[in-house]
Amino acid sequence: MSLDAAKATGLLTQARGVQRRTVALRRALHRHPEVGLELPRTRDAVVTALADLPLQVHLGRAISSVVAVLEGHRPGPTILLRGDMDALPLTEDTGLAFASQVSGAMHACGHDTHVAMLASAARVLATRRDELAGRVLFMFQPGEEGFHGARHMIDEGLLDRTGPAGRPEAAYALHISATVASGEVHVRPGALMAAADTIRVTVSGRGGHASAPHDALDPLPAAAAMVGALQTAVTRRVDTHHPVVLTITRIVAGTTTNIIPETAFMEGTVRTLSEASRAAVHEEIRRVCRYTAMAHGCAAEVEIEPGYPVTVNDEDAADRLGRLADAVVGRERVVTMPTPIMGAEDFSYVLAEVPGALAFLGGCPPGVHPGAAAPNHSNRVVFDEAAMTAGVAVYAGLALAALA
């Protein structure tokens, strides 16, 4: 997959030509963020943005998803491009003129930019239908932030041969990052992002008076011991070449100073980069919690809620995306990531069924060093809107190159 220099330059020119639209849509979404799977205002904004384009638009039945299909001039395969739409439950503190007007909700992960870039890429590609042998499937997805939105869309037939555009031959997504230099594209083959599962442990003992712990079975020392034992288990039971990050983030127990409680509850996450290490560490968590509790005379009930699977970029697709980005933004601005990151992404559900790749688009604000920028998921994060022209051109270029 590649574009010649003239075509890449033409795409950038077109992306700059629609930048005012891109920014306007992004800011409209940023002012009115919505969280989860039900995003009616966001869905309607996307439909309105696409209304004048020659697209077949399909709305989700159970969730606020939007699927748009652009048919090329000639028959051929389907290429899927994804943009996620949901926000995070944060109160914005950026001081932007277009800051969130919704209390407790903010587009702190840049999904508003993803939607705007994908909508503008559809606009660019609509002017180039005669260059497409096949069709482009635009996937506007709710519920990426922990709500399994991609899986819901797949369950509704997104990837089926009888789906809106047939089964895609390849799938691509971009994710903006405030801690990457603006306009750079970072990608790697293989595991790109981790699986993330939620751990919940209830430790049961026997309550009593704080003055007589010997007459009770205090679950708090057992819970505290579990935290250390779990951290040790990761370093001593898991191969260091298969990274695992286990973090207990919350412990809740007791009601006052002179009562030993009956139970203690703790929860956190475990992140892994392979299904083998994922299964192994799940077993280890259950074993450590059970026997640590027993050593304190208590019992432990362990729940591990599966989260997103490992995000795995197809090697050939990642290479094609990298070469396409070379043509669009310049080779010096395309970076092969040396290691995965331990965040999670539900585009992993799509990549588990369709060969494809996800890449990071730099959006560090002007005048700020990437290492000093407020990161994604911060209530102070700011993205450089100028980077969206590169994103629009890369999205459109992926479809053009694949369907030439």
Active site residues: 308, 385
By the 8 A CB rule, do 180 and 364 touch? yes
Tokens of 373: 């920028």
Q: For residue 382, with 0-12 CB atoms within 10 Å meaning exposed, 13-18 middle and 19 or more buried, which class applies?
A: middle
Give the residues across from 360 on adjacent strands.
175, 186
By the 8 A CB rule, do 217 and 206 touch? yes
CB atoms within 10 A of CB 81: 28
Q: Which of 391, 291, 377, 380 is nearest to 333 (CA)?
A: 391
> What is the secondary structure of 82-119 as a DSSP string?
EEE---BS----S--TT---STT-B--SSHHHHHHHHH
Pairing of β 74-84 and β 170-177 = parallel
Q: How far apart are CA 285 and CA 200, in angstroms?
A: 10
By the 8 A CB rule, do 351 and 311 touch? yes
> What is the secondary structure of 194-258 as a DSSP string?
-EEEEEEEEEE-B-EETT-GGGSB-HHHHHHHHHHHHHHHHHHHS-TTS-EEEEEEEEEE-SSTT
3-state secondary structure of 269: strand
Residue whose entry in the numeric block shows the structure tokens 């809620």: 305
By the 8 A CB rule, do 308 and 148 touch? yes
Tokens of 8: 């890449």
Q: What single letter denotes the amino acid at residue 262? A: E
- 28's enclosing H/E stretch is helix 19-31
Q: How far apart are CA 131 and CA 303, in angstroms?
A: 52
Half-sphere exposure of 203 (CA within 13 A, CB side): 33
DSSP annotation of 17:
H
